[in-house]
Amino acid sequence: MTKPIVPIRSSTQTFIEIEDIDHDIVLFVDGSAALIIATTAVNFGLLSEKEQESLIFAYAGLLNSLSFPIQMVIRSQHKDISAYMKLLEDQEGKQKNPKLAKSIHSYRGFIQSTVKEKQVLDKKFYLVIPFSSLELGVSAHVLFGSKKRGLPYPKPYIFERALTILTPKKDHMVRLLGRLGLRGEQLTNEQLIKLFFANYNPGAPLPTLDQ
């Protein structure tokens, strides 16, 4: 006799190890945490040889000055230029000068053909600074593990401890980025939620968060 098929009722949240996002920090189910810094980038290929050497030297200095681990993440997405194309179309229709209208039309055609022939990607660069659950202090749950799923300490204590340890590391990282001519900013709660939602729900519209 064929056994009845049991429907899968698990949601994506079951497989995501995120417990909470607060204080601009991501809290994981094991008590570890992390903050994420979004950073700008430099087009290395456009720099002169001297500028490239200087940047490489500064980057080596950044890595050598670190006394804690970091994770570098590059997120690539297909660039949505539909709004830009609509803007060009509107400007072409409003243009009274025939020559300018023709120029806009030609430019719009160039952009469309370029997008068809090549993949236009939007790249975002992030630095992740982790906080280990071992940094919470001595706990049987932390040292030996536990079969029960849950945080080793109350959330307020974990967030407070994580902020104490991660904040100076974040400030140090931002200063180092500044020496490279880059700007780094810590992601806020809302930005973190949107980032993880987009990662786990590709193509879905971003949620509207209550203020």
Distance CA 47, CA 102 (A): 35
pLDDT tens digits for range 84-102: 888 888 888 888 888 888 8
List, in sequence order, every residue forming a beta bridge with 76; answer none if it has no partner: 123
Distance CA 49, CA 29 (A): 47
- Is 120 a residue whose pLDDT tops 70? no
The pLDDT tens digits of the residues spanning 49-78 come to 999 998 899 889 888 989 999 999 988 877
User: What's the pLDDT at 8?
Assistant: 47
pLDDT of residue 28: 94
The C-alpha atoms of residue 144 and residue 21 are separated, in whole angstroms, by 26
The length of the chain in residues reads 211
What average pLDDT does the chain have? 83
Mapped onto helix, strand or coil, the DSSP state of residue 126 is strand
Ranked by mean pLDDT, which of 11-20, 80-89, 145-154 comes out on top? 80-89
Given a cut of 60, whether residue 12 has pLDDT beyond it is no
Mean pLDDT of 34-62: 90
